[in-house]
Chain A
Amino acid sequence: AQRVTQPEKLLSVFKGAPVELKCNYSYSGSPELFWYVQYSRQRLQLLLRHISRESIKGFTADLNKGETSFHLKKPFAQEEDSAMYYCALTRGNEKLTFGTGTRLTIIP
C-alpha cells in the first residue's frame, strides 16, 4: 500500500532562514510526487510536482528514490510562506494519497 509520511506537524522558521519540510513515502512502483499548499482561508492548491523539476515561489523538491524522500526546500523563508503544506503521492492517475501535513510558520 502507498503511504506518505510528514514527520513534522508544526515547523517554525525565522524569516530569511532556510526551510525544509520533510516528506517520505512508501510505494513499490514509480510514484508521482506532489506538494500542495493551503494558505490561510484559501483552498488547497498545487505548489509543485516532481516531474516538472521546477522552482515555484522559490521552493524546490527533489525526488530521492534511494531514500524514498521528496523534501520541500527554500533557501530563504518569507513571511508569506506561512501555510499548511501537504506532500502527496499518486500511482500515475489522479488519485492522491496525502500526508498529514506540516503547518509552517515564518517568524518575522
Chain B
Amino acid sequence: DARVTQTPRHKVTEMGQEVTMRCQPILGHNTVFWYRQTMMQGLELLAYFRNRAPLDDSGMPKDRFSAEMPDATLATLKIQPSEPRDSAVYFCASGRGTDNSPLHFGNGTRLTVT
C-alpha cells in the first residue's frame, strides 16, 4: 500500500531557527501539495506543485517560507526564521494529476516553535 511519507513526525524548535520538513510523494504521482492545519483555520493550502513546477504558492508567507521539489521523490518546505505562530501540523499530499483523483496525505509534521 503506497503512502506519502513525511519527516520528521514532530519538531520542536526555538524561535528564529530554520525548520525543514520533507515529503516523499507516492511513486508515479505528479502533483504535490503542502497544507497547514490549525484549530482556527483548519487546512490551508500553502503550495502546489505539478511535475515539480510550482503552480500556486499564494497561501504561503513569502518572506519566511519556501517550498521546493529538488526531484520527483522529494518535496521540501522550509521556514526561516521560524516564529511561534508557525506552530501547526504541516501535511503533504500527492496525487495523480487527473480530474477528481483523490489526494493521498502523509501523517504530517507537528511543528512547535517556542
| A→B interface (CB under 8 Å) | 6, 32, 34, 42-46, 49, 51, 86, 88, 90, 92-101
Contact A95 B106 (CB under 8 A): no
Contact B105 A44 (CB under 8 A): yes
Q: Out of B44, B97, B107, name the residue touching A43 (CB < 8 Å).
A: B107
| B→A interface (CB under 8 Å) | 3-4, 31, 33, 35, 40-45, 48, 56, 91, 93, 95, 97-103, 105-108
Contact B108 A101 (CB under 8 A): no
Contact A49 B102 (CB under 8 A): yes
Count A/B pairs, Cβ under 8 Å: 56
Contact A49 B106 (CB under 8 A): no
Contact A43 B105 (CB under 8 A): yes
Q: Besides the contacts A43-B108, A90-B100, A100-B42, what 12 more A-B pairs have beta carbons closer than 8 Å?
A: A43-B106, A44-B105, A45-B105, A46-B102, A49-B102, A94-B101, A95-B45, A95-B48, A98-B42, A98-B43, A99-B42, A101-B42
If A43-B107, A95-B33 touch, whether A86 touches B99 (CB-CB below 8 Å) is no
Contact B106 A101 (CB under 8 A): no
- Cβ–Cβ < 8 Å partners of B35 in chain A: 98
Give bound CA distance, A100 to B93, whole Å.
18
